Structure 1
Amino acid sequence: MTPTAATVARRRRRRLSGAGAVVRRRLLVAVPVLAATSVGMFLLGAASPIDPAQQYAGAAAFTTSEENLAQIRANWGVDDPLPVQYARWVGNLLRGDLGWSTSRHEPVADVLAARAGWTLLLVGAALALVLAASLLLGTVAAYRRGGWLDRAVRAGAYAVQSMPVFWLGLAAIAVFALALGWLPAGGLTDVTATGTDPADVARHLVLPVTVLAISQAPWFVLFVRDTVAESLRDDHVLAARARGLPGRTVLFGHALRTALLPFLTLVGTHLPELVGGAVLVETVFSLPGLGAVTVQAALGSDFPLLAATTLATTVVVLTANLLTDLAYAAADPRVRLDD
């Protein structure tokens, strides 16, 4: 029986209401998570033995008088009790003041604004590549399970999984940049470039994106392979085969569609590792993203910049998990968002 327009509208309103409830619940969870993250970062910064005043003065700290250093500490309030410092820092954060980067010598907000886009481009391109490749390789390996292709895919996945991402990056530079000369070894543009040409940027991103995607591919490939192999034994897939449907239709139209639902959850839960891999990839390939800046902030004990990048990463991960839940519910109408 075909549902009426009124029934369809009621279902749509119910699902939209359920989506709103999920967003509200996730916001209630996000607040304590972000608060705990900020407290942890603040306590780590307070426990650092490095004097912020001497760090700000740099080489001049060796000749600056103790009175001047004390005045810097007083201006920054670093001698105040920790609760007072934390409350002041949170207040500035809520007003949009992320502080001053001692390692970059510019406002933290400007650092994030200038570099966040490149990190999002790297992570987004790598995620798109790894999803497409893992869906294809995992599905074909499951269809040919036990064969030479299945064994080759699994062996390659296990081998790549044991390789650190920075080793993959250095190996890619040695082979494709230094030995063959096919691609640039690092950077975002050529040294002689006077602007940012999209074609030049795309050429420089080939190696970083590929390395990041390959480093994350084993989890996705093996998951898709196992899930599709299990789906091929489901009753509805066996029934489709019995009806004489082509193998490609059975594989991609029935088995893969069933496997996509848990695959969405894997994407959301695996995003933090993808972001962590981007930090190393940006460092190896000298990309001007947040990853390289985070490493520089950690080495230089740049607390304001390190805290801002950590909070930004936490927000991205929480948002990705929320979008994963919404996408899961959109892909499977049986899932009730208001539960």
Structure 2
Amino acid sequence: MAWRLAFAVPLLLAVTFGMFALAKASPFDPVRQYLGDRAAITSPQIMAEIRANWGIDRPLLEQYTTWLGNLLRGDLGESRSLHLPVAQVIGERLGWTLLVVGCALALMLVAGLALGTLAAWRRDSWLDRLISGTAFATEAAPVFWVGLLAVWVFAVTLGWLPAGGLTDAASASVTVSGLLAHMVLPVTVLAFSQSSWLLLFVRESVIGVLKEDYVTGARARGLRERTVLLRHALRSALLPFITIMGARVPELVTGAILVEAVFSWPGVAGTTIKAALAVDFPLLAALTLLATVAVVLGNLLADLAYTVADPRVRVLGVS
């Protein structure tokens, strides 16, 4: 874990510098995007003054070092599209993203582990083919397509659940019951779209472990099949899963961005799309940095969890 922590700093610096380089080379003019229709009647002098105030007319290295210095002082700048401090924008939306992602992650783990183990236990049966076939189909389906399909079926056609947002249009405040109802679709879609790889991975791992000699010996000692499956096979199959879980964090972040956009969820992930469309670079830079930190922390937590699950493995030896 120590080498991962040491690697995190240059990784974050490389990602953020690359982000500035891409912004500098981008053909999109943030000033014209900011002015909108007014850009056609705004004089070049005023537009040049705006660029100077924002500092985007400076050399790349100077822009980056200025941003980095402000970052170290806790100043993330001001959002050009929302006209609010970037730290305030993130602070107001981060909790909603963590709520949806946390609930989806818990649902994904429970469903993936249960169905993957069941498919391995009933290998080559109709149930295994049904579970595995559905997982392969889900893996190929884009997240936004699944979200739009869920809105059409459960919100538009059946009318069982709200289509998006935190509250109904007529409600002036957020209630617990209303929040839970509005969470059902985004949480379920995010968990559903991310659980297929987990299910298939657990299935293959459990099938491999069930062939091991110690599992055969446990059965020979007369242990119940459920005990063999849960306490021996599944427990051993989870060790490689912990490592791969950390590597799949980027997909979870991407899924959260798309789900929040589809369901108009006011989280920090969906704000990334709005910042990109508005060429709101201060906000986009902070959100990119936040996503990179989330990926790094996900891998660190996976290493730590692997060490806790198997004390024989040294921390530095975890790949």
**Which residue matches 1:238?**
216
What's the offset of the Cα at 1:285? 0.6
**Which residue matches 2:226?**
248
Is the CA contact 2:34–2:278 (under 8 Å) kept in the aligned structure 1?
no
User: What are the Cα deviations for residues 266-320 of structure 1, in whole angstroms up to 9, with x where unaligned?
Assistant: 2111111011011111111111112221111111111111111111000011011
Equivalent-residue separation in structure 2 for 1:60 and 1:96 (angstroms):
33
Equivalent-residue separation in structure 1 for 2:151 and 2:18 (angstroms):
37
**What is the letter of the counterpart of residue 297 of structure 1?**
A
Residue among 203, 219, 227 paired with 1:225: 203
Residue among 281, 284, 287 paired with 1:309: 287
Equivalent-residue separation in structure 1 for 2:232 and 2:108 (angstroms):
22
What's the offset of the Cα at 1:338? 4.7
Equivalent-residue separation in structure 2 for 1:102 and 1:49 (angstroms):
18
Equivalent-residue separation in structure 2 for 1:48 and 1:105 (angstroms):
22
**Which residue matches 2:158?**
180
**Which residue matches 1:155?**
133
Equivalent-residue separation in structure 1 for 2:316 and 2:278 (angstroms):
47
Is the CA contact 2:3–2:316 (under 8 Å) kept in the aligned structure 1?
no
Find the residue that maps to 1:106 and give its secondary structure.
coil
What's the offset of the Cα at 1:244? 0.5
Residue among 262, 283, 303 paired with 2:261: 283
Pairing 1:296–2:244 present = no
Is the CA contact 2:117–2:203 (under 8 Å) kept in the aligned structure 1?
yes
**Which residue matches 2:9?**
31
**Which residue matches 2:28?**
50
Residues 208-219 of structure 1 aligned to structure 2 (within 5 Å): 208-219=186-197
Equivalent-residue separation in structure 1 for 2:182 and 2:55 (angstroms):
44
Residue among 102, 108, 115 paired with 1:137: 115
What are the ranges of 5 or more consecutive residues in structure 1 without an aligned counterpart? 1-21
Equivalent-residue separation in structure 1 for 2:250 and 2:239 (angstroms):
20
Pairing 1:272–2:241 present = no
**Which residue matches 1:3?**
none
Is the CA contact 1:55–1:102 (under 8 Å) kept in the aligned structure 2?
no
Equivalent-residue separation in structure 2 for 1:77 and 1:247 (angstroms):
67
Pairing 1:75–2:56 present = no
**What is the letter of the counterpart of residue 182 of structure 1?**
W
What are the ranges of 5 or more consecutive residues in structure 2 without an aligned counterpart? none
Is the CA contact 2:249–2:295 (under 8 Å) kept in the aligned structure 1?
yes
Residues 92-111 of structure 1 aligned to structure 2 (within 5 Å): 92-111=70-89
**Which residue matches 1:6?**
none
**Which residue matches 2:236?**
258
RMSD: 1.4
Pairing 1:127–2:105 present = yes
Equivalent-residue separation in structure 2 for 1:73 and 1:338 (angstroms):
47
Is the CA contact 1:125–1:209 (under 8 Å) kept in the aligned structure 2?
yes
Equivalent-residue separation in structure 1 for 2:4 and 2:316 (angstroms):
13
User: What are the Cα deviations for residues 17-71 of structure 1, in whole angstroms up to 9, with x where unaligned?
Assistant: xxxxx2x322210011101100111011111233344444444433333332222
User: What are the Cα deviations for residues 250-279 of structure 1, in whole angstroms up to 9, with x where unaligned?
Assistant: 100110000111111121111110110111
What's the offset of the Cα at 1:213? 0.9
Cα pair distance change 1:338/1:27, threshold 3 Å: closer
What's the offset of the Cα at 1:326? 0.6
**Which residue matches 1:4?**
none
Query: What TM-score does the superposition give when structure 2 sets the normalisation length?
Result: 0.95
Equivalent-residue separation in structure 2 for 1:51 and 1:154 (angstroms):
47
User: What are the Cα deviations for residues 198-238 of structure 1, in whole angstroms up to 9, with x where unaligned?
Assistant: 22111101011111111111100010001001111111111
Pairing 1:64–2:50 present = no
**Matched residue pairs, number?**
317
What's the offset of the Cα at 1:178? 1.1
